[in-house]
Each structure stands twice: as C-alpha cells, then as structure tokens.
Structure 1
Amino acid sequence: MHDPPRGAGAGATRAPDPGGTRRVTLIGVDFGSTTASAVVASAALTRAAGTGRVEIGALEERYRSEMALTPFAGDAVDLDAAAALLDRWLAEAGVEPGSLFGGGAIITGLAARRRNADALAQRIRARLGEALLAVAEDPCLESWVAFMGSAAPLSRARPGEPLVNLDIGGGTTNLALGLAGEVQRTGCLLVGARHVALDPRSRRIQALSPEAQAAFDHLGLRRGPGDPLSQAEAEAVAAFHVTLLEAALEGRADAFAAPAAARHVLVPFVLPEGAAAPTLTFSGGVGELIYAGLAGRPLPEPAHHGDLGVDLARAILASARLTARVATPASMGRATAYGLLRHATQLSGATLFLPRPARLPLRDLPILARLSPASADADLDRAADLFRRSPRGACLEIVLDDLSAPALRHLGGRLAGALRRAGPIPDHPLVLLTARNAGKALGGYVTGWGALPLDLLVIDEVEARGARFVQIGQLCDQVLPVSFYGMTP
C-alpha cells in the first residue's frame, strides 16, 4: 500500500474493468481506549482462472484518517462527537452511502466498556450499512484482526515458526498465536496505557480503572484521583503489567491466581502443550513506542500522553523475555483497522443456494451448531429446535468431506427430517455454512428441490473460524460478502 494524500476519495463500487475485474470499496474503523482511526481501500474482485472462485485482491489504500482522540463525555462515549468523526472520515474518503462492500468497525478496550458502547455500534452501523460488521468489545475478534493486520504476512513468510502478536493499546493487550499465517489461539489481558489517566504537567491522577485500582492495592500504592503519582510508582505499575505479559507468554497460569492478576484477565491466553518459544510482534499505540525504542529512537517523556504508555513501553523494552525474539511487521499502529479492512470480510463461493436474494442483507445471525454427516440424529434435532426458537433466523455450520451426490442427498434428507420433526417450518431464514464447494447441491437436497417451505440459504467456501455470529451482505457478481464475529479463544 502507498500513503495517499489526506482526504483522497475512495469512490464507490466501480464498473468492471475490461478483463472482468470489478473494483469495490473496503473500510476498517477502530474506536479504542485512547484513539480512533479509519482506513479505506479499493480492491479488485477477480475470478481465479483455475477455480472460477471470486477473490479479493489488488488492494490499494485510498484514504487514511489522522489519528483522533476517542471522544468521551464522563463515563460514556460522546456519541455525537464520534458520529461526527465518522461522518468526516467518510466525506474525506469520498465514500457514498451504500457503496461499501466489506470490512467493518470495532469498538475496543476501555471504549467498549463504556455504558453506551452498543449505541455507538448502532450509530456506526447506520453509516456503514446493515451488512458490515460493527461490534462493541469482541476481544478474540480484535486479537484475530490485529494479528491479520500486523503479523500475518510475516507469519506466512515463516511458516514453521510460531509467532505471537501483542496488540497493546490503551485498555487491553490482545494476544494471538499464529502459524503459517493462520491464527491458532487468542486471548486478552486488561493491560494497557490508559488504566491510569494523568495530568501530563502535574502528574496528578485524573482517573483509575478498576484494574488499575486492583494493581495499586496489590502494590501498596495509596493513591487516587487528585493525588500525584511519582515516576517510581508509575514504573512499579508498568513492571506489574509486564509480569502479567511474561506469564501469559510462558504459560504460567498460576501467576494469575492472585486476585489482582486475575482481575486483569478478560480472555485467558493458553499456549499449546509443548509449544516452542514464539517470536513476538507488537502493534497498537504502545507497540509503536516499543519499535521506536528498538530502533534507537528517543521515546517521549513519561506521562507525555497523559497515561502510562511510555512507562509500559520502557518496561517491555527492559524485559529480556519480551525482547529476546522480536520481529518487525510492515504494518504497525493500525493493525486493527487494517485487519478489519482486509480480513473481516470473506467471499462466498459461486455455487450459492439463494432462492430469495431479496432477503439480504442478514445481520447478527447466531451460529447454533457445527454438524457433519457423522452427527447423531439427536444433534440434528437439537439444532433444528434451536433454529425454530431463534426469531431472527440462524446459521448451522456444516462440515463436509464426501461431496458425492449420494452423501449430500443423505445428509440433506436427514436435515430436512430434523426440521420437520421440530414442528411447523418457521418463516425466518436458515443459513448453512460450509467450507466446501457444495452450496447448490446441498440446498437442493435439504429443501427437496422446493418441496420443503424453508427460507434456506447455503453459503459455501467460507470458514466460520469458531465464530458465534455472522453477517451477510448483498449479492455482488454472484458472490456474497460474509463477516464473522464473536470468536472463541
């Protein structure tokens, strides 16, 4: 990607190029504990010659916002100010309503813990479109997109080397272990720069998060809002945070048994048994400071940003464990926004089963079960009953090995039988998700080629990646943009 001029227009979805390639617009938006930003890019939908599958490629950054402070009003996000920021970014990028094809927005860290974070997600969705991902606090998704936006190219270039990305921002450290470019494990610690808010000049404490208060109590620091925080005390808090990061990377679960340490665990990060020591990469605001220090550049004065970010970066740089094996990714600082832009959206295969395209888009559908031909009838019955009780509709993930007509016919018949046994067929949609190229055939066998009055959609060649919810966009060149969230560790 090149660095475009500020305010360069991204444009709407363009007409197909002479070779049949269509340009689309993608977006990544991140409202974090301290800062907010947006990235807009254009990409090509290209049909692969060998497989006929439509893929996203030729990504070209068209707009990158200036970093802005996440606007707060007391203990809430300032919704009007946040919406104005987003409106300005979209206007500067030249993005027209309804022109976005994929990507998404995420509210992270301390911003996601404010009481009106869901209301901010609704404001974002109203501007980006119902089909695009817009979620408040999904720690495992954030870990995944940060890895994909920062470390994935390095991981693919070193396929046999385990790599952990630590995305350290104002409120959280999102950890993701990857191998050969694929995320294997995720976790999240409430370790970040903004848990202690300071006046940059007087160093008086302006606010403490509950986690910071727990750390202060653990360290015997009798300080609160209005009190000055000495440099030695700030360094003690940063050192405590570093011990938590080191313990997570060393697989020392016992280190989180103490109440103060346990308070900092949002999603446990568990390395596989016998895993080799991973190479580390860093992203996020503190990650930028770490790489500046590794490059020999001077860091700002402590409390320069009104938090402990500089102290935390210096403590990490002083840790032999955290600096023994460090690699430098090409993209730093905006890993979440880049990851959302490039990786939050998957494309379906071209053999969709989609009798009612007017139903689209579909938003926030739960993935109720993971089924296969080996699943017992009782498993299918439970999934069918859950679908019947889900008023918005629902998804089932289908794992297929045998794509022969007899195998698909048998599974389709079993699914249809379970749906009939569950009671009257509801009007809401059922979506089947499969990684294999079998959408039309499976949909036909489940519905008996129209005999079963089921609002069914089968999306093939997509990976749910352990997610719990899915969003499905409008049909474009016979493929669907699909986004997953609510990922498990």
Structure 2
Amino acid sequence: MQTEEILSAGIDIGTSTTQLVFSRMLLQNTGGFGKIPQIKVISKEVIYRSQVYFTPLLSREEIDGKWVDRIIKKEYRKAGMKPADLSTGAVIITGETSRKKNAEDVVEAIADVAGDFVMATAGADLESVLAGKGAGAAELSRKTEKIVANLDIGGGTTNICLFENGNVLDTACFDIGGRLVKVADGKITYVAPKIRWLSEQIGLEIAEGQNVEVKKLKVLTDAMAEILAEAVGLKDADVFIEKMKTNHAITCQKKPELITFSGGVASCFEEIGELFRYGDIGVLLAQSIRENPIFQKGNVCKAKETMRATVIGAGNYSMNISGSTIEYTEDTFPLKNIPIVKIALEQPEDIADLDEKLHRAMQIYQESRGEGRQIAIAMKGLKCPSFAQIQEIAEKLTEQYDRECEPDNVLIIVLEEDIGKALGQALHHRIKNRRKIICIDGIYCESGDFVDLGEPIVSGKVIPVIVKTLIFNG
C-alpha cells in the first residue's frame, strides 16, 4: 500500500520550561486499489528532542519573545530542520505563560519563525488532553481497559485528563504547580495570589521576603497534594477545590483506576539532594505527592513521558486528518484560529430551515465577536443524502452565506459525515469563481471551538486539522 512520510513540530512554551520536538509520521492509503482513499496515520516517531530551556520572561507579565525566537531558530539548526520541511505542528503556550499579556503576540511571531503549518495555542482543556496523550495515559487506558487519569504538574498549573479506552472522558485544571512559590538565597521571592490564599486557609503565613522554612513549605505542599487527590476523584472534595481551579473541575462520575503523573514536577519524583535547586517548591511538591497516602493507594503507574509529555503531545497528537472525499480551492491554506459556528443538520427534515439556522447562529456569533471575521460552519451532515438533498443543502448554504459574510471570506464547511466531496462540488457549481471554498469531512467540532487547516498533504487528498477548545486563558 502507498505510504507518505510527513514531518511534524511540537513547541511548548510553558510556565517553567520551553522545548521542541520533531516527529516523523507515516500516512497510508488503506482503501485499496480502485476504492475511495482512506488515509490513516500508521506510525509516529519522535526524531529530535531539544534541550529544555527555562522560559524567558521580560517580567512577571511578559514573555521575552526575542529569546523564544532565538531558541526556536537554534534548535531548528541543530535538528537540521527548515520550516519548509514541516507539514504540520503545534505551538503550545501553556500554564501561567498563556496568561501573559503578550502571549498572543508571541504566538504570531513564532508562526513566522517556525513555519506556515497548523498551529495550536493551548487553553487548559487542550493542554490537558495533549499532555495525557503525550504521557501515554490514553494508550495505557486502551491497553488495560481501565480508566486512567493523568496529572501533568508544571510550574503554574496541574492539567488533569481522564481516559477510557483511549478516549477523553473529562478534563480539569488547577492552579497548583512548582513555581507558584519561588525562592533564592534562602528567601521567598514570589508567592502566587492563590497560594497566598491557600496558605492563609491552612493557618500559614507565607510571604515574599521571609526566610525559607522547609517545614512550613512542606505543610503547604502537602495541602497542595491533598487538593490534587480530591481533584482527580480519589477523595471527597473540600472547600479549597472551587478556589484553586483554573477553569473547571472534573464533572464525570467515573473514578480513575490507574494514575499517571507527567510534567516538570513529576520528573522530580525520584530526585534527592538540594530541595530548592530549581529556585522553587517543585521538588518539595513532588515529595508531598509521592508520600501522599491517597496517591499511594491509587495504583500509580509510571508515565511514558514526564517532562516532555506536553510537547510530545503537541507534536504527535494535536493533528487530525480530514476525510479523503473533500473539495477545496487551491492556494487557500494554511488558515489559523478560525472560529466554529455549528448548525443542526443530521436528518433530512433539518434541511428545510437550514438557511434560517445559519442566520440565527451567525447573529449570535456577530453579537459576541463582531461582524466581518472569517468563520467555519460545522455540521454533522446526512449519512447517505440523495443528489437532490445535496443540491438543496448547497443552495441554502450558498445564498445565506453570501447574505451574511464579506465577499473575501472563504466558505468553510466542516462535516462529520463522509459527504465533503459531493457537497463541495455542489457549492463550487453555485459559487463559480466569486468565492473560495473548503469543504472537508471526518472532523468533529462544536460551536465555540477554533480550527486550524494546514496545507493539503498526500498529493492533496487530505488536510491536517487541529480543533481547539480554548485558545487563550483570559
């Protein structure tokens, strides 16, 4: 069977560290001779891992974009990689770094350096999923047929993802991490606001300028470990959970049967020696988690990756590929951070008011986001539509889109069902050359998501796609 090799980049700019990986993916047409192409990713291999850098900051509020630029250029040279060599990839700004005031500007600047590939800037949900997949938790849940929770503990946040049979059950994120208290020369130099609050609640006074007291800080990290045990569902939650969450807690009722840990703090589990060698409480927090009696009973398994879980997730697991029966206008890609507007189309009777549904959805979008911006329209689609149904869908979409959208906006349709080619050709017939179109299938997304579309690959048969639940943590 015909195979094609593509190269992918993963770049993670986290609270504590910045790193890159390059991966090789093999895609194969499994459809067979004379059949509709079925392109699948059959293997993924990390071929280069950068050194781990401390994330460069200009201040507590700003990333040093020039230093990030230098890091990326340096590692590309060391790997013998050029931006033009890459078909896909993801830049992930994670943890507290995603809240820096210039985070979005840095991502735009990185796009010019890293290459014109698909790019994701992670919110807490996406980061949780990528870290869990990069750590091997998704694969472990598939192999063991057990529910696996991965806790990715970094400098500023802990991202949690529950997997069952390789699929995501739920995600959560908490403001618990190794660099939320910083120390230097025997003094506390920084205490994050939520950690100040937590310290007060448990009867501790921890403030900048104090001398470092290991026993006092260990009481704090023990409390942080206890909150994580509650957050993952191993213990009933107390009043601290609500205050310490970044976005939301776990809401599914299923409990993890196996636990894995990844992230910089997890990489300190086996370390001994100077407690504050990284200038923070990361090693102390690792000790508290390792010694916590609830986690000791929780069937903890060693993660496949710890420090590099998120960046490997970004490089290897962020990308989906569209179905093979698609239609698009050349010279349109890549497109990045396109907001999704989803409308109901699952049954034949849904066609009748399709134009009105699109109008209502667009009104809601424009009220919150403003007019004129490029969007993508998502629909489930009919499983086996007739020729007449395809024509009617195309007619309603074309007419309404022309009414609602600017002439230079691309008509982007994202479908779940395998009808992208048929609908795309019907749209082309109506639009002629007055507007570009992209009609892809095999992709699930929801209103409020964002989508990135990369350059077509495998001789133009498929498009690399990243669906993002949240771009920046506001």
Scaled by the length of structure 2, the TM-score of the pair is 0.88
Identity %: 25
Between the aligned partners of 1:423 and 1:433, the Cα distance in structure 2 is: 18
The within-5 A match list for 1:278-289 is 278-289=257-268
Q: Quick one: which amino acid aligns to residue 266 of structure 2?
A: G
Residue among 205, 224, 242 paired with 1:241: 224
Matches within 5 A, 1:90-169: 90-135=76-121, 137-150=122-135, 151-159=137-145, 161-169=146-154
Which amino acid is the alignment partner of residue 190 of structure 1?
D
Q: Which residue of 1 is the match for residue 375 of structure 2? A: 394
1:266 to 246, 261, 266: 246
Q: Does 1:174 align with 2:174?
A: no
3-state SS, counterpart of residue 331 of structure 2? helix
Matches within 5 A, 1:267-346: 267-273=247-253, 275-290=254-269, 292=270, 298-323=271-296, 324-346=298-320
List per-residue Cα deviations over 1:182-238 (Å, max 9, x = no partner): 112111101000000012xx4311111222222232233333222112111111111
Equivalent residue for 2:321? 347
Structure with more relative contact order (C-alpha pairs < 8 Å, separation 6 or more):
2
> 2:16 matched to which residue of 1?
34
Instruction: State the secondary structure of the residue aligned to 1:267.
Output: coil
The 1-side partners of 2:363 and 2:433 are apart by 16
1:369 to 342, 346, 350: 342
Cα distance change on mapping 1:164 and 1:335 into 2, 3 Å: same
Q: Structure 1 255/446 Cα, relative in aligned 2: closer, same or farther at 3 Å?
A: farther
Q: CA 1:59 to 1:219, structure 2 compared with 1: closer, same or farther past 3 Å?
A: same
SS of match in other structure, 1:177: strand
| Aligned-pair CA distance for 1:266 | 1.0
3-state secondary structure, aligned to 2:88? strand
| Contact 2:340–2:447, Cα closer than 8 Å, also in 1 | no
CA distance in 2, matches of 1:149, 1:467: 25
SS at match of 2:22: strand
Pick closer, same or farther for the CA change 1:252–1:409 going to 2, 3 Å: farther
Q: How many Å apart are 1:312 and its aligned residue?
A: 1.1
The letter for the 1-side match of 2:467 is F
- Cα distance in 2, alignment partners of residues 83 and 480 from structure 1: 28
Q: CA deviation at 1:26?
A: 0.6
Q: State the alpha-carbon separation in 1 of the partners of residues 428 and 234 from structure 2.
A: 48
1:220 aligns with 2:203: yes
* TM-score, scaled relative to structure 1: 0.85
Amino acid at match of 1:307: D
Q: Is the 8 A contact 1:384 1:418 kept in 2?
A: no
Size of the aligned set, in residue pairs, is 455
Q: CA deviation at 1:158?
A: 2.3
Partner secondary structure for residue 82 of structure 1: helix
* Distance in 2 of aligned mates of 1:311 and 1:156: 33
Residue among 372, 384, 393 paired with 1:411: 393
Q: Which residue of 1 aligns with 2:440?
A: 459
Tell me the SS of whatever aligns to 1:214: helix
Q: CA deviation at 1:134?
A: 4.2
- 2:260 maps to a residue whose letter is T
The one-letter amino acid paired with 2:451 is V
Secondary structure of the residue aligned to 1:247 is helix
Alignment partner of 2:222: what SS?
A: helix
Task: Give, in angstroms, the shift of residue 342 of structure 1.
Answer: 0.9
State the Cα distance separating 1:320 from its structure 2 match: 2.5
Say if 1:423 and 1:214 are closer, same or farther in 2 by CA, change over 3 A: closer
Superposition RMSD on alpha carbons, in Å?
Answer: 2.6
Say if 1:418 and 1:183 are closer, same or farther in 2 by CA, change over 3 A. Answer: same
Matching residue's letter, 2:332:
R
Q: For the structure 1 residues 408 and 68, does the alpha-carbon distance in structure 2 shift closer, same or farther, using more than 3 Å as the test? A: same
CA displacement at 1:447 relative to structure 2: 5.3
Amino acid at match of 1:343: Y
Whether 1:468 aligns to 2:449 is yes
Structure 1: gaps of 5 or more residues: 1-18, 293-297
Q: Take 2:409 and 2:399, find their aligned partners in 1: how far apart are those partners?
A: 18
The 1:27–1:455 alpha-carbon spacing in structure 2 relative to 1, beyond 3 Å, is same
Whole-angstrom CA distance in 2 between matches of 1:448 and 1:128: 37
Using the alignment, how far apart are the partners of 1:312 and 1:466 within structure 2? 38
